[in-house]
Every structure is written in C-alpha cells, then in structure tokens.
Structure 1
Amino acid sequence: MQTSNPLRTAIKQNMRKKGYNFSVLSEKSGIPRGSLSLIFVGGPSRRSPMSFQHLIRISEALGLPEDAFFDLYVDECFIGGRPNRSRIEPFLERCIELGHPGCIDRVLERLNGEPRYLPLLFRIAESLNGNVTNSPIERIYQYLLLHNGNRHSIEVAVCHYRLFLQKIGEDEEINSMALNAFSPYRDNLPDEFKLEALLVMCNLSLNRMNADELEKAADELIALCIRLFGTRDCPPVKPFVPEYPLERPILFYYSQGYIMKQIALCERGDFRQAERYSERYRDLSWLVSDPEDERSVSVLREVAHTTSLGCGLLDGRVEGLDEYAKLLGRHPTETTSGLIVMLRTANRYSLDIDEWLKRFPLDLERTLEMQDSAYRKQVGRNRFARLLYQLSIYHYSRGRIEESLQTALQSWELSRRLNNHRMFRLLASLTLMYSGQCEPTEL
C-alpha cells in the first residue's frame, strides 16, 4: 500500500534544498505550524487535505512559481476518490487563467461526466469568460456539451454560443462552419446573449455577402429589440431587466438591426425600400433616459440621414454625393462602408469621384484599430477587400488599367488571406471586364 504522497514529497524536497523546516515554512507562508503538521505528518488516513490557497502560499514561500506543483495537486482534489468542490473550483479557475490544459483534462476525466458537477463547471467557465485569452476554457464548454443530456437547455445554448465566438477568426470558411453549427441554438439563449449573437450573425452574413441570410438575422434582431424595448408608440409588455450585463448599449442593438436590414436590401438592389428604414432609427430619444445618451441619439440621427443619402446615391440620385462625402468625414469608423457606397454609385452611373477619394486615404491598419472586437476586425477586413474590388472597377472605368490591376491584386491577396470564396468569385468576374466582354457598369 502506497503511503507516500507525490505532492508532499516534492514540497519536502524543495524545503530541504532551501534548508527550511516546518517552523521556517510556517513563518514565510503565514500558515500556522499546527496546520502544516496536519497536512504533512502521518499516513494518508491521518493527513489533512491541502487547500488550494495553502498550495499557493507554500509555493511562494519556497520561491517557486505558483503553478510549480499544479500537476501534483490534481490528486488532492480527489482524496478518497471523491471530488472536493472547495479544492476543484479555485484550482480549475487558476488552471484556466494560467493555461494548464493538461491539468484541466485530468480533473475533467476524474469527474467522469457526473451530472451533479456540471453546474459547478458551467459557473466556473462563465465566471472567467471574457477575462482569459487562452483556449483551455473551451475544454470546459466542450465537456459540458458532451455530458449535458438536455439539448434544449439554456446552458447548452450558452456553451455553443461561447464556442462559436471563440472560433471566429480570419478564415471565412471556418467562420461559416462555426455559424452553421451555432445557429440552431440561438433561440434558447438568454435575451442578453441573443442580442449580441444576432448582431454577430448579421456581420458574418455580411462577410459572406449572403443577402437572404443577412436579412433574416436582421429581422430577428429587429423583432427581439421591439419585444424587449418596445417602440415609440408601444412600450414593451414589461420592462426588460437584464440578468447579465449587455455587451453594448441598447441604442446600438436597436439601430444596427435596421442598418443591417438596409444593407441586405441594398445588396438586392432594393434601394428605395432600404432608404425607408432610416426613419426607424432617425430619432431614438424615446429609448433613453440618461442625458449622457443624448449625444448617441444625435449621432444616430446623423447616421440615419447619411444612410438615407447613401441609398439615394445607389438609386441614382447623385446630387447628394457632396453632402454624403462631408457627412462621411465626420464618422471615421464608417469610412470603408461609405467609400463602398460612393464607388458603387460612381461605377453604376459612370461618375468621376477622384476629388472625393483624395479626402479618404485607404489605410487598413487604421481601420482595424477602430474596431472593438476580433469579429468586428474580421468584418473590417472583408469590407476592405470589397472596397478594393470596387476601386479596381473604378480605376478601369477611368482608364487607369495598371492601377486597376494592382488594386484587384491587393483585394485578391486580402481575400486569399481571409479564405473568402465569395470574394474570389467577384474578383474572377473582373476578367470579363479586362477582356472587354462586359462594361464596368455591368459588374
């Protein structure tokens, strides 16, 4: 029968190297001498378990990294073969924060899918979500999905949502697969999470340039906002009190639903119908009570006017081009989207907009710096690739063939990096223009 304990043996070896006895260790760690005796002296049946806080203090007292004994501490969480919540919880939390996937896997394996511990694991993962940048937290969510038998539970939906956000990156094919895998679970999310989920879905659909998919997600976001926050003339049935903090202000979700709807309609060429939706968020003053939000309401009023002008430009009412360019200069985060509108208008109606383009230098890195999340940066990259595509058509229509080819190659290289197959197809269509088989206005 094994009476030695690897964790305690390793600690004692380090004590000998330092020349420490238990009195010195007690003084340096702040752990009472009697407590150390209970932890280290005697056989397995007589020794007291070592708390996680004691482990950290002992490591620090020995001048070692706090995770020096993590590999050996797993067994301490299961003394007598039974999981101990008070040791498992802080240990797993720190393993996630410091990035110790091996220790996490060993704890999860020992828990063996026991249903009573699933709520604990879910609470640990949710408490750390957003505060860590490494991947071990994904292991917790994957474990929960593997062992939670209720496919329609809120917890399962949240796990799928967290993994969905973790998977979003620069590869659009991977993003598409992640979106398709998550989409069936969105209706089971808490409303606070569903708002952000639908917004992310809108942006990923925009990257894929799928107007039908984008419009569907936008309609869902609009309907959810109306249910939660009401309209100017019809307040919600009951006030919305979020259980979890919202990722963004209410004004942002409310307006973005309509803006995404407009983009979807413009993708299909229904510019006049898209223009009407600007009125839905032109004045959202009824939605705010804090005077500090009045500035956001004012900004949205100007954004609504700008998008209305943009829809008009695409519809052929080009007299608004100068005003549109001036308004765009006041909203640097929307420069890429605004330039796409201007270039589409110029390409569609054979306009010269060289003077306006000089006001807006193309700078992808600066564009990305203004985005507040990984997926928003991804949206920025995809929009920039599309901007370059429109710019290559514009250069060609102005007779600048060399510049057109260089710009098309830049768009191709960025699209290749993003693995955006839809952009590949758009760029391939430029060969028809270069070979004289179609006019720039036809693309």
Structure 2
Amino acid sequence: MTNTPTIRTELEAFIKRRGLNISQLGKEAGLNAGTVSSILKGNRVMAVDQLDRMTAVLALPQGYYYEQYIQECMVEAVPNWRRIRPLLYRCAELDKLDCIRQIVLLLLDNLTYSPLLFEVAEDFLNQGRKASAALLYESVANSERRQHSERLAFCQYRLFTLRLGDDQEQNLQAALQFEPFVDRLDEIDQLDALRDLANTYRSLQRWDKVDKVAEEMGNLARIQISLTQQPRSKRQELHKKPQRPLFVYVALSDLFRGSVCDARGDYEQALQYDYAYADLSWVQDKDEDTLHWLTLFKEWAQANIKVSRLMFGDQSVLPEYVDYIKSHNNEKLAGILNILKSANKSNFDVDYILQYFESEISSLIQQKQLKAVGVYSKELVSDQIGRLLYELAHYYLKKYLYFKGFDYLLQGLEKFITLNNETFILKCVRLFENYREFANSEILFTYRNLLKGGDEYEKKIGVAVNGA
C-alpha cells in the first residue's frame, strides 16, 4: 500500500527537481524564507493564499491541491476557521462545489459552525454565487433540522428562492416544501416570504394557495401597522425593516386576492378588492418611498377596475385601458394578455389593438433572458408569455386565421412543455384538436414532434383529445 504524497512532499520533490534552495522557492512564490522553511519542516500549516502561491510556482491549475489540503488541515488536524473560511471563498470563486460539500460535511457535526457557514452563504448570495450559497444553506438546514430555529427557516426561505426556475412543477415543489417554515421566520421576514410565495403560486395559478397566503400576509401586515401606531410610550419599534413599506403588504394582499377572484370569474368581488387598494388615504407617511408606492397602487387599481369591467363584457373601457398600457411599459405584457382574454371571452374584435402592439408582442414572445418586471417575478413573466401565446392562438383560430393561430399555438405548446405546465399543455392540445382539420401537414408534423418530447403526458393527452 502506497501513502498519498502530502503537499509538503510534493514541494520537496519540486525543490529537488529544480535544484532550488528555500530562499529561491520563497522568492518565486512571493513568500519570505522563514515562512517557507516552517512549511517544509511541518511546523506550520499553509494558509490558502500561500497554497495558491505555491501551486502557481509548480505551474499547476488553481485549486489543484484543495482536496489534499482539506484532508491535511481538517481530517488530520483540528479544523481552524481562520483557514477554512478563506478556503470556502476560493472554492466558490473557482466553482469547486465538491470541495465545498466536503468541507461542510466535515464541519457540521459541530453546531458551532452553523452560524458561521450561514454568514458565508449570505455573502455568497450577495456575490451572485448561487450554487455555492445553496450548498451551504442546504447543509446548515440539514444540521439544524431538529432545532426548529429561525435560522433553519431562513435557510429554507433562501433555498426556496434559489430553486425557482423555468420548470413549474419544480417551482410548485419548492413552494410546498418552504411553506411550513414561514411561521418560524421573524414577523418582518414573514411578510416578504409570504409575498414571494403568493407570487409563485400566482405564476402556477394555484388560486386557493394564493388566496390563503395573501390573506395571511394582509393580516400580519395590519398587526405590524397597529404596533407602530400605538402611543409612543407603548409603541413597539420594528427591530428591522421589511423590503417595502408596511402598507404595501396590505395593498398587495387585496391586489392578489382580487386576481384570485378574476381567475374564478367572480368579477364583482374582484372589484371590491380593487376599490380597497384604490383608497389608501389611511396611510399617514409621506416619505418618497411611500408616495412612490401610493402612486403605483392608485394606477394599478384604476387599471384593474377596467380589467374587471372588461371581463364583464364592457367594451367601452377598452380605449382607456389601452392608453394606460401604452404609457406603462411594465404593464404591457399583462395588459395585452388581459385584452386578449376578454376578447376571447366576450368575442371582442381587437385587431386594431394587436396591430398597434405588434412589435411589442413580437419582442415579448422572442425575449430569451427573462427578468422580473416591476412587481411581476421572472416566473410570473414566463407564465404570462406562455398564456399570451395561447390567447393569441385562440383569438386567431376563432377568426379563421389558421396559419397565424397554429403558429402561436405551437409556440405556446413548446413554451408550456419547457415550463412543465401540465394544465396549459392540455389546454393547448384541446385547442389544437378542435381545429385539427384545418392544420396542414407541416403543422401536424411539428405538433407531433412537440408531443413526442412529453411522453409523461401521453395518456393525459389522449383523454384531452377524446374529451375535446
């Protein structure tokens, strides 16, 4: 059995091959001779920076010795946080996730490292090193799973946001996994967590969940507002600030619950929620941030009142609503989608509107790098683009413009397959089958190829086709 060479023996072999002395090696590495001598004699464990310098002298890739370094300074010696912390940062910089995983496995038998690793995870997240941050959050959460701590809940919150992506089924699982931890968070953090959960459930169209989470957020925000409005002698000062002024969470609660009513076709109740956040005269603060949000909610309420009337079939509000979305870039996607939904529901002719927004619609559909827009999360924007394609297809197919309708429908089907949105995959299939007789061979070929990529939907698609 042969022993694995240590980093020190590798350096000694290098010195021998090159015919160097300690001073010459130190000069090449940018270290003083005394430091090099202590390292080679085994009297000192190298710091990560020193290891990186030596690795460069040996003309080896960055991080080449990190696995061996972990063995020598954490397994064969007592772990020292002053060496481990900079090693974690270097591993994150070099994207050496296996090394990070190895480090935390060696540390987390000792819970004293849990808060230290949590702080590093927060740093990684702020630096945009999401994969490294997620590894640390997962490790801290696993180590504290029996502690019922606030830190455990916050790790789960961070993991929830990091797990959100294009796959809507995975987004649903991330939300369901996080939801039981919300009430373990600090009350202020709960507000932002509930807002993020509500937005995620909105993008998934899980309306029962949206209603429940939004109601909870509104109630919690009202309690926090009441605490700040008590007489000065009894007032409880907030130990931290939420990401938005407190009244925003009350107004968002009404806005979200109004969207639930819209989705359910209860437009009268939706109007009541719209009127609730339209009147925020009870808000007392007048700072710049507050005035900004007051203006936004006033505009959103006016727009959503028009949307509810549109869904009632009131076509007279269309010109005003079109003017609104013309002047609000962040609302163009949602606005055009609302117009199409109302047109398909009540048989409006909106050709002139679609012609006016033709270039915007094309840009919205073709954008590759999605991002959050205003209060719409990236996941919600992605879902809205898919639904826009579906509504465009429905609109043009009803007008016998089959080539255009099928083009949008196939794009929508592809989008929803990418998103793993089973509900809308089946809706696209039903719509296609209703108009199948008007599809040419090329359209049918593309349609069949798209469905071949979704074998897990085969039986359900058969039910959709037969029930169409």
TM-score normalized by the length of structure 1: 0.84
Residue equivalent to 1:388: 389
The Cα offsets for residues 216-262 of structure 1, whole Å up to 9 and x where unpaired, read as 1222222233333459988995343427xx55676765543332222
| CA 18–292 in structure 1, closer or farther in 2 if over 3 Å, else same | farther
The Cα offsets for residues 63-115 of structure 1, whole Å up to 9 and x where unpaired, read as 65542321221134337542212112221232233221222233233336222
Letter matched to residue 37 of structure 1? S
Residue equivalent to 1:37: 37
- Look up the SS of the partner of 2:166 in the other structure: coil
Residue equivalent to 1:440: none
- Look up the SS of the partner of 1:129 in the other structure: helix
Residue equivalent to 1:304: 301
Letter matched to residue 349 of structure 1? S
Letter matched to residue 379 of structure 2? Q
Residue equivalent to 2:6: 6
User: Are the aligned partners of 2:393 and 2:408 in contact in 1 as well (CA < 8 Å)?
Assistant: yes
Determine the C-alpha separation between the residues in 1 that align with 2:385 and 2:271: 23
User: Are the aligned partners of 1:228 and 1:239 in contact in 2 as well (CA < 8 Å)?
Assistant: no
User: Are the aligned partners of 2:373 and 2:381 in contact in 1 as well (CA < 8 Å)?
Assistant: no
Residue equivalent to 1:278: 274
| CA 434–8 in structure 1, closer or farther in 2 if over 3 Å, else same | same
2:212 equivalent to 1:222 = no
User: Are the aligned partners of 1:229 and 1:240 in contact in 2 as well (CA < 8 Å)?
Assistant: no
2:49 equivalent to 1:53 = yes
Q: Post-superposition shift, 1:355?
A: 0.7
Determine the C-alpha separation between the residues in 1 that align with 2:169 and 2:222: 33
The Cα offsets for residues 268-309 of structure 1, whole Å up to 9 and x where unpaired, read as 112122123234443658465543664453343222211121
Q: Post-superposition shift, 1:327?
A: 0.3
| CA 314–118 in structure 1, closer or farther in 2 if over 3 Å, else same | same
Letter matched to residue 302 of structure 1? E
Determine the C-alpha separation between the residues in 2 that align with 1:433 and 1:418: 23
Residue equivalent to 2:142: 146
Residue equivalent to 1:238: 236
User: Are the aligned partners of 1:150 and 1:156 in contact in 2 as well (CA < 8 Å)?
Assistant: no
2:74 equivalent to 1:74 = no
User: Are the aligned partners of 2:47 and 2:83 in contact in 1 as well (CA < 8 Å)?
Assistant: yes
| CA 372–320 in structure 1, closer or farther in 2 if over 3 Å, else same | closer
Residue equivalent to 2:421: 420
Q: Please point out which of 328, 337, 352 is paired with 1:331.
A: 328
Residue equivalent to 2:288: 291
Matches within 5 A, 1:27-426: 27-41=27-41, 44=42, 47-60=43-56, 65-78=61-74, 81-111=77-107, 113-133=109-129, 135-229=131-225, 238-242=236-240, 253=249, 255-282=251-278, 286=283, 289-291=286-288, 294-361=291-358, 362=361, 363-366=364-367, 369=370, 371=372, 376-426=377-427
Letter matched to residue 174 of structure 1? Q
Determine the C-alpha separation between the residues in 2 that align with 1:254 and 1:56: 53
Q: Post-superposition shift, 1:203?
A: 2.4
Residue equivalent to 2:462: none
Determine the C-alpha separation between the residues in 2 that align with 1:287 and 1:210: 34
Query: May I ask how many residue pairs the two structures share in their alignment?
Result: 429
RMSD across aligned C-alpha pairs, in angstroms? 3.4
Q: Post-superposition shift, 1:351?
A: 1.2
Determine the C-alpha separation between the residues in 2 that align with 1:343 and 1:138: 40
What stretches of structure 2 of length at least 5 have no aligned partner? 438-467
| CA 346–112 in structure 1, closer or farther in 2 if over 3 Å, else same | closer
- Look up the SS of the partner of 1:135 in the other structure: helix
| CA 20–248 in structure 1, closer or farther in 2 if over 3 Å, else same | farther
Q: Post-superposition shift, 1:367?
A: 8.6
| CA 367–37 in structure 1, closer or farther in 2 if over 3 Å, else same | closer
Q: Post-superposition shift, 1:325?
A: 0.7
Q: Post-superposition shift, 1:215?
A: 1.1
Determine the C-alpha separation between the residues in 1 that align with 2:285 and 2:370: 29
User: Are the aligned partners of 1:368 and 1:381 in contact in 2 as well (CA < 8 Å)?
Assistant: no
Determine the C-alpha separation between the residues in 1 that align with 2:335 and 2:3: 73
Determine the C-alpha separation between the residues in 2 that align with 1:287 and 1:98: 50
User: Are the aligned partners of 1:229 and 1:239 in contact in 2 as well (CA < 8 Å)?
Assistant: no
Q: Post-superposition shift, 1:320?
A: 0.9
User: Are the aligned partners of 2:124 and 2:130 in contact in 1 as well (CA < 8 Å)?
Assistant: no
The Cα offsets for residues 331-374 of structure 1, whole Å up to 9 and x where unpaired, read as 2222221122111221222211111112223122449555269x
Higher RCO by CA contacts (8 Å cutoff, separation 6 or greater): 1
Letter matched to residue 180 of structure 1? L
| CA 155–291 in structure 1, closer or farther in 2 if over 3 Å, else same | closer
Q: Post-superposition shift, 1:414?
A: 0.9
- Look up the SS of the partner of 2:356 in the other structure: coil
Letter matched to residue 152 of structure 2? V
Letter matched to residue 141 of structure 1? Y
Letter matched to residue 240 of structure 2? P
Letter matched to residue 39 of structure 1? I
| CA 182–430 in structure 1, closer or farther in 2 if over 3 Å, else same | same
Matches within 5 A, 1:14-25: 14-15=14-15, 20-25=20-25
User: Are the aligned partners of 2:182 and 2:190 in contact in 1 as well (CA < 8 Å)?
Assistant: yes
Residue equivalent to 2:465: none
- Look up the SS of the partner of 1:391 in the other structure: helix
TM-score normalized by the length of structure 2: 0.80
The Cα offsets for residues 24-78 of structure 1, whole Å up to 9 and x where unpaired, read as 343454533223222222xx5xx12222333234445666554232122113433
